[in-house]
Amino acid sequence: MTIKHSKYKNTGILFELLVRQITADTLSGVESPATNILKKYFGKTELGREYRLYESLFKYTNISEAKAEMVVSTIVESSKQLNRSVLKRQKYNLIKEIKNHYNLDEFFKIKLPNYKIQAATYTLIETYGGDQLLNPDQIIENKTVLLEHLTQSNINKKEVKENILEEFRQQDKDVRVLAYRVLLEKFNDKYVNLNINQKNVLKEFINSVDNTTKLKEFYNTKVNEIKEHLLEMNSSVTNPAIQVKIKEVVNILPTLGKTDKAGDDQLINLLQYYQLIEELEIAK
């Protein structure tokens, strides 16, 4: 599941807009209702606790990637301790009170320089704080934004992805099974129903999530079986174009080495190869 960003629910944005509103009211020579709103909702409240997580992102700049990783991890872990129902109620009451004093369209139309960072923080916190399936791609995108902000340098997304997948590997089996289902959603967008071979592959990946050696052996065995199957098919195929396609696939089919691990990419690869075999069977 992908979390949609909402500036109306983003604690960091709400705080910053209130501060800017206080400044605008003061410069206009009027008493600012935003001052009391800020004190009421961002003091010793659940909303105040969450804001301090956003605030911590702007306390550090030009730090090492290792320290940046620690900052982001701390924010994520701390966010899990928040009372979500209390937080939801406080945000609702906050918006209601802002609406009583200001035009919401005018209040939220101000462009913030750190909007992208605030949005990434919101979606990351909501992703880990909810009870829905995690979306690895969204986590990678948001975490990369935060790491680049903290380090003030470009971050290798591949390394971020590997770190996140390693995080999944360290979680209990049920959580990792859910993660695999998320990956399969993309596959099922194109291929609605899994065939018997694809189901067997998925079953093995789920059952062996805690046994990397067994999973690698399974993957390599299946790759060799697919190669043999394709070569047998090629001998009976009469269409030259299909013959070329089969040879290309056989040549690029990779097996895993001693230090390699079977993960999400390998799962999707096997599913796609078996889908290809099914399509070739129909076409020949």
Given a contact cutoff of 8 angstroms between Cβ atoms, the answer to whether 68 and 147 are in contact is yes
pLDDT at position 116: 93
| Residue given tokens 């040879």 in the structure block | 247
Given a contact cutoff of 8 angstroms between Cβ atoms, the answer to whether 172 and 210 are in contact is no
More confident residue, 179 or 154: 154
Could you tell me which residues come within 8 angstroms of residue 87 by beta carbon, excluding any fewer than 6 positions away?
46, 47, 50
Q: Which two tokens stand for residue 236?
A: 């009976």
pLDDT tens, residue by residue, 95-123: 999 999 999 999 999 888 899 999 999 99
pLDDT at 282 over 70: yes
> What is the DSSP-derived secondary structure letter of residue 60?
-
Given a contact cutoff of 8 angstroms between Cβ atoms, the answer to whether 21 and 107 are in contact is yes
Cα gap 151→67, rounded to integer Å: 9
The confidence band for 191, taking pLDDT boundaries of 50, 70 and 90, is very low
Give the rounded percent of residues in the chain with a pLDDT score beyond 90.
32
pLDDT at position 89: 96
Of 30-39, 87-96, 146-155, the least confident: 146-155
pLDDT at position 250: 81
pLDDT at position 20: 92
pLDDT tens, residue by residue, 231-253: 888 787 777 877 887 888 888 88
Helices (H), strands (E): how many in the chain? 14, 0
Hey, which of 99-108, 130-139, 160-169 has the most confident mean pLDDT?
A: 99-108
Closest by CA to 8, choosing from 107, 148, 81, 114, is 107
Give me the chain's average pLDDT, please. 82
pLDDT at 184 over 60: no
Amino acid in the structure at residue 155: I
Closest by CA to 201, choosing from 147, 270, 261, 132, is 270
pLDDT tens, residue by residue, 20-79: 999 998 988 999 999 999 999 999 999 999 999 999 888 888 888 888 888 888 998 899
> What is the DSSP-derived secondary structure letter of residue 131?
S
Q: Packing angle between helix 264-283 and helix 196-207, nearest 10 degrees?
A: 170
pLDDT at position 209: 63
The confidence band for 169, taking pLDDT boundaries of 50, 70 and 90, is low
More confident residue, 188 or 16: 16
How would you classify residue 31: left for phi > 0, otherwise alpha for psi between -120 and 50, otherwise beta? beta
